[in-house]
């Protein structure tokens, strides 16, 4: 088996019935991986949940309580961060409904750890609830306001970060150690609340473009999503339609800023050559 530069940890509920498929895929590609048993929110007792969960903090941030599955999800990822710290190596963390692009095996796993660590602590490799067919539109609406090239991979920070899922991400050992520290104590946030990781933990959260990992959400149901939908009122189609003009204006402003930044960078390069 070829050892990848970045070990892979696949978080999977034993009852999900998904781990065999992704294990077969990774085995066929000859990469190192570890299946990690996820914490099952259904099996957490009331006392266990109370001991690890801060409902007041969750309500302050989201206006609602977290589901037991959401709390268990954060617990599962924290348990893997401990293993990343123990190895002292950067790692890729996947969820068991991940679909992997060829570039994941060809470039992501072999990206230089020190080069990636120089620009980011966490690199999101995909986004939840996004269809491949809609990705071009997403890249257009959410351009990167800052970007860098690492081993042929384009990594950067979009204008807005939000709870965009955790289907796949790269994390350095240093970032995993820090994440364990700033998330210590009762949990009151979602695992994929990347702005919280950035603002409260000081984590440099970046994204890979184009994405190398997709969530198989149309074929595989999510227990987390089912519980979450029961607590969140969906937006009406009228509300969504009313937001389109604002979104178009926002996209225009963002690309204007990106263009100005690139022009400025180009001018700096030309000036440096002349000097």
CA 136 to CA 215: how far, in whole Å? 16
146 compared with 174, residue with greater pLDDT: 174
Phi, psi (5° rounding) for residue 34? -135, 130
CA triple 73-220-168, angle to 5 deg: 50
CA 194 to CA 163: how far, in whole Å? 6
Phi, psi (5° rounding) for residue 139? -60, -35
The full set of domain ranges for the chain reads 8-234, 235-275
Q: What is the dihedral of CA 12, 18, 24, 29, to 10 degrees?
A: -60
Reference 247, options 127, 132, 138; nearest CA is 138
Q: What is the dihedral of CA 42, 45, 47, 51, to 10 degrees?
A: -40
Reference 7, options 89, 62, 70; nearest CA is 89
Tokens linked to 35:
């299946």
CA 216 to CA 170: how far, in whole Å? 19
DSSP-derived secondary structure for 219-246: TS--HHHHHHHTTSPPPPHHHHHHHHHH
Please state the rounded mean pLDDT for residues 97-115.
95
Q: Tell me the pLDDT tens digit for each residue of 67-88.
A: 999 999 999 999 999 999 999 9
Q: What is the pTM of this model?
A: 0.86
Q: Tell me the pLDDT tens digit for each residue of 148-207.
A: 999 999 999 999 898 999 999 999 999 999 999 999 999 999 999 999 999 999 999 999
pLDDT at 271: 41
Most confidently predicted of 99-103, 128-132, 158-162: 99-103
With b for 16 or more beta-carbon neighbours within 10 A and e for fewer, the 19-33 pattern comes to beebeeebeebebeb
Phi, psi (5° rounding) for residue 12? -150, 130
Collect contacts of 255-259 with beta carbons under 8 A, ≥24 apart. Answer: 255/143, 257/145, 257/159, 258/143, 258/144, 258/145
pLDDT at 248: 76
Tokens linked to 128:
């939840």
CA 167 to CA 94: how far, in whole Å? 6
Best CATH choice for the domain 8-234 from the list 3.55.50, 3.90.550, 1.10.20, 2.60.40: 3.90.550
């Amino acid at each position: 088996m070829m050892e990848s530069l970045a070990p892979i940890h696949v978080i999977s509920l034993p009852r999900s019935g998904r781990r065999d498929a992704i294990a077969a895929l990774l085995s066929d590609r000859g990469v190192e991986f570890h299946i990690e048993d996820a914490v099952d929110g259904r099996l957490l007792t009331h006392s266990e949940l109370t001991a690890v969960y801060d409902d007041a903090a969750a309500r302050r941030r989201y206006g609602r309580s977290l589901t037991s599955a959401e709390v268990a999800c954060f617990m599962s990822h924290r348990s893997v961060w401990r293993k990343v710290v123990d190895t002292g190596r950067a790692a890729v963390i996947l969820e068991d409904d991940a679909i992997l692009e060829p570039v994941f095996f060809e470039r992501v796993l072999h990206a230089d750890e020190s080069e990636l660590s120089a620009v980011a602590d966490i690199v999101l490799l995909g986004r939840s609830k996004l269809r491949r067919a809609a990705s071009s539109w997403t890249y257009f609406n959410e351009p990167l306001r800052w970007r860098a090239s690492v081993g042929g991979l384009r990594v950067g920070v979009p204008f807005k970060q939000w709870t965009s899922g955790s289907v796949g991400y790269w994390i350095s050992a240093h970032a995993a150690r820090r994440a364990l520290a700033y998330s210590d104590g009762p949990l009151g946030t979602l695992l994929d609340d990347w702005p919280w990781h950035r603002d409260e933990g000081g984590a440099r959260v970046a994204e890979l473009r184009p994405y190398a990992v997709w969530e198989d959400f149309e074929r595989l149901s999510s227990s987390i999503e089912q519980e979450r939908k029961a607590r969140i009122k969906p937006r009406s189609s009228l509300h969504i339609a009313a937001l389109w003009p604002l979104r178009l204006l926002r996209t225009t402003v963002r690309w204007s800023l990106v263009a100005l930044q690139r022009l400025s960078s180009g001018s700096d390069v030309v000036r440096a050559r002349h000097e």
